Amino acid sequence: MKTKYIIWQNYIKNQIISTDIDENIKSINKQLLEELENCTRAENPQEEIYERFYKNVEFGTGGLRGILGAGSNRMNIYTVAKATQGIADYILDGEYIKDSPIIESETAQNPAVAIAYDSRINSEVFAKITAEVLTANDIDVYLYEELMPTPALSFAVRHFKCAMGIMITASHNPAKYNGYKVYDNSGCQVTLTAAEKIYGYIEKLDIFNDVKHAGGTGEIRLLGKDIAELYLDAVQAESCLNTPNLKETLKNLSVVYTPLNGAGNKPVRRILERLGVFKVHMVKEQELPDGNFSTCPYPNPEKREALALGLSVCKELAEKAAAAGMPEDIPDLLLATDPDCDRIGIAICEFKDGRPDYRLLSGNEVGVMLLDFLIATKVKTGLKEKPCAVTTIVSTKMAEAIAEKHGVKMIFTLTGFKFIGEQIAFLENEHREEEYLFGFEESYGYLSGTYVRDKDAVNGSMLICEMAAYYKDKGMTLAERLEQLYQEYGYYKNELIDFTFEGSKGMELMNQLMQDFRENLENSFIGKPVIETADYQEQERHVFTKDGSGKIESIRPIDLPKSDVMEVILEDGSSFTVRPSGTEPKLKIYLSAKGKTAQESEEIIAGLIRELTNKVNR
Residues catalogued as catalytic: 171
Burial class (CB in 10 A: 0-12, 13-18, 19+), 508: exposed
Answer for the pair 437, 409: CB distance below 8 angstroms, yes or no. no
Distance, first Cα to last Cα, the chain: 33
Residue 150, number of CB atoms within 10 A of its CB: 31
Helix axes 457-473 and 478-489, enclosed angle (nearest 10): 90
Residues 6+ apart with CB under 8 A from 121: 68, 175, 178, 291, 292
DSSP letter (8 states) at residue 70: S
Distance CA 413, CA 484 (A): 28
**By C-alpha distance, which of 58, 86, 59, 56 is closest to 73?**
56
**By C-alpha distance, which of 528, 617, 537, 538 is closest to 576?**
528
E strand or H helix at 199:
helix 192-203
**By C-alpha distance, which of 570, 575, 541, 544 is closest to 557?**
541
Answer for the pair 410, 389: CB distance below 8 angstroms, yes or no. yes
Burial class (CB in 10 A: 0-12, 13-18, 19+), 226: exposed
Count Cα neighbours of 602 within 13 Å in the Cβ-side half-sphere.
3
Answer for the pair 526, 607: CB distance below 8 angstroms, yes or no. yes
* Strands 586-595, 575-580: pairing kind: antiparallel
Burial of 338-361, coded b for 16+ CB within 10 Å and e otherwise, reads bbbbbbbbbbbbeeeeeebbbbbb
Distance CA 555, CA 536 (A): 13
Answer for the pair 55, 49: CB distance below 8 angstroms, yes or no. no
